[in-house]
Structure 1
Amino acid sequence: MSTKVKVDTAQLRVSARSLHEANGGRKASSAVPGSLGDARAVAVFEQFDAYWRSGLSNLSSGVDSLSTALGSAADVYEQRDAKSAESFTSGAPHAF
């Protein structure tokens, strides 16, 4: 029994590009002295920022990996389809 798998490689590439663009352009946050009120508020912000920065880094790394995987999947599907089409034109035997 054969199952057809239809993959929209253009959509995979668009999604990969969107993730890549969304993941870029982050700027470091910092508290401007006096913007948060007293020194204790600034200290709390800095404590949170130190905690959040590692989580954000992990998230960013994961999004980069997903973006790369989507692009690679599109490449693999296109190569698979090209090889399949080539086998039909070369006269090779086919199993259905």
Structure 2
Amino acid sequence: MITPPKSELGWIIEIPDEMAEILNIEPGSIAILYPKEHALETEILPPPSTKLKEDFERLNDKYTAKRGNRKKFQRAMAKVPKVQPEKHDRLPS
């Protein structure tokens, strides 16, 4: 069983293309599930626009860069030769 991610609003589910076709909505739409007493309400949102995706990528890249990117760090470190540091650069033992 897959648990959908939770947001402040409720749970978010990506609607499969087959279901979108049955519901006559755009492929890539998402549903937000809101729990109510003895009920579950849903809201269907259209897929994000290209501009929204680009803005998200830009902001994500901006703030990820501040924290650093482990994969990029590991790729860079893989290029560093595996040699012992000079004697004056070694940590005391």
Q: Which of the pair is proportionally richer in strand?
A: 2
TM-score of the aligned structures, taking structure 1 as reference length: 0.26
> Which structure is higher in RCO with an 8 Å CA cutoff and minimum separation 6?
1
